Amino acid sequence: MALDLTKTVAQLADLTHGMSGQRDAHAAALAAALAHLASADPDAVEERRRSGQITWLAAGLDGALAGPIPPAPLLPDHMVVAVDGSHIDVDRHSPAQCYLVNIGYVSLRYGELPDAALWNTPKLFASDDDLALRGPRNREQPVEGPILGMLRAVMEVEALGDLVEAAPAGMPVLALLDGSLILWGLTGSGYPDFVREALLDDRLLPALERLRRLGEGRTLAVASHVSLPRSTDVLAALRIAPEVCRWDAVNCDRNCGALGRGERNCDVVAGVTDAQLFAEALRPGERSPLYRTTSSIVVSNYGPHQVRFFYVHLGEEIARIELPQWVGGEAVDLAHAALLTQAAKGHGYPLALQEAHEQAVISTGDRTHFAQLVEELLAAEGLPTTTSQKDRSKRTRFI
């Protein structure tokens, strides 16, 4: 039976009415946040972050908190490479346990010798070693769901290294990923240590180290593009500024743990995202200063590949751009300038990432055909093709 929208329309009306009522409060919070962004002392904020006990994930500051930065000139001869991925998860109703990862590749060269290459590489995983991460004392973690999502993200970083390695020597390269460099799924997840070691220590960090070495002989900007970010790291830094928090020593739980929303000093800027803040603070083409993530998974495990980020006004939206800390100087300028040209070519979204997505995407039809092909090949080999009764009932509607 289809969704009965007549039963939800009244609830949707309540939702939109409530959002309309919150508009004035949000505008006031945004105005306060903009004022404090311009006036807060970054050194004082960073000292309070380091010494305080904070509920929020506040950005680390290595200098400026605010101040728009215009783009540097973009060298005509440069490359933009990008990867994106998609996957078919393990289907517990299927007679064959396997998963598939499809990586899309894009290599675009600009300047005197323009060139373009686009392709994808699907890879099927079905062995016992592929289907589980293994730890001590015969412990196992199935590779499916969020684990598979993180593994695919790691594979994308590894694939990016292949594209950079194939670039002409000395050519400036912007190497793009889609989404965050941070494996957020490992934060407070309860996964055993061997999962973190398999994904981070054995795969992601070596891939980032390979990219770092590849950048030693060229200007290389490794950047991960987060579209429509909902993060509040910079806003959280404003929440602990002396003029906002007003407590001499920052201790969120002790000072304000018993207070409700709207009763805390810092609620004067609550409800605003970083993207909303920088949509007002930046003009098209400008970026924010660089900030550091203070995510525990990064601080404790990423070592020399700590993640920094900035916000950039790409004309249509504010994007969050994450970079390993070794991307600096000319490489940051390259990331900023090349992203602007890529966004202009892609109608607001970087063209290289747009094309990488098109190469990687697995359509609904592809997924159906993949499942049928699995069953046909099993049958051809005389292997069982039985599935669950639940799956069979979904395929065979008899009422």
Domain of residue 89, CATH code: 3.30.2170
Asked whether residue 396 is assigned to any structural domain, the reply reads no
Assess whether 182 and 54 both reside in one domain: no
Asked whether residue 38 is assigned to any structural domain, the reply reads yes
Sheet holding 318-324, edge to edge: 60-61, 291-292, 307-313, 318-324, 220-226, 173-178, 78-88, 99-110, 115-125
Overall pTM surpassing 0.85 (yes/no): yes
Asked whether residue 395 is assigned to any structural domain, the reply reads no
Q: How far apart are the two ends of the chain, measured CA to CA in Å?
A: 11
Asked whether residue 259 is assigned to any structural domain, the reply reads yes
Assess whether 216 and 337 both reside in one domain: yes
Assess whether 85 and 102 both reside in one domain: yes
Q: Please tell me the total number of residues recorded for the chain in this structure.
A: 399
Assess whether 338 and 209 both reside in one domain: yes
Angle at 88 between CA 84 and CA 89, to 5 degrees: 120
Q: What is the pLDDT of residue 13?
A: 67
Q: Is 363 exposed, middle or buried (0-12, 13-18, 19+ CB in 10 A)?
A: exposed
Cα(83)–Cα(178) distance, integer angstroms: 8
Q: What is the pLDDT of residue 146?
A: 94
**pLDDT string in tens for the chain (399-residue length):** 577 777 777 776 666 665 566 787 899 999 999 999 999 999 999 999 999 999 889 999 998 999 999 999 999 999 999 999 999 999 887 788 899 999 999 999 999 999 999 999 999 999 999 999 999 988 999 999 999 999 999 999 999 999 999 999 999 999 999 999 999 999 876 899 999 999 999 999 999 999 999 999 899 999 999 999 999 999 999 999 999 998 999 999 999 988 888 889 999 999 999 999 999 999 999 999 999 999 999 999 999 999 999 999 999 899 999 999 999 999 999 999 999 999 999 999 999 999 999 999 999 999 888 888 888 888 887 777 666 455 555 555 545
- Write out the residue range of the structural domain in which residue 141 sits: 78-228+296-365
Give the total number of structural domains in the chain: 2
**248 — phi, psi (to 5°)?**
-65, -40
Sequence-ordered strand ranges (E) for the chain: 60-61, 78-88, 99-110, 115-125, 132-134, 140-142, 173-178, 220-226, 291-292, 307-313, 318-324
Assess whether 90 and 177 both reside in one domain: yes
> Which of 268, 288, 319 delimits the end of a domain?
268
Asked whether residue 283 is assigned to any structural domain, the reply reads no
Assess whether 45 and 124 both reside in one domain: no
Assess whether 189 and 303 both reside in one domain: yes
Asked whether residue 191 is assigned to any structural domain, the reply reads yes
Among candidate residues 86, 12, 81, the one with its CA nearest the CA of residue 350: 81
Asked whether residue 381 is assigned to any structural domain, the reply reads no
Assess whether 222 and 151 both reside in one domain: yes
Assess whether 138 and 263 both reside in one domain: no
Assess whether 304 and 210 both reside in one domain: yes
Q: What is the pLDDT of residue 398?
A: 47
Assess whether 224 and 238 both reside in one domain: no
Q: What is the pLDDT of residue 7?
A: 74
Q: What is the pLDDT of residue 396?
A: 52
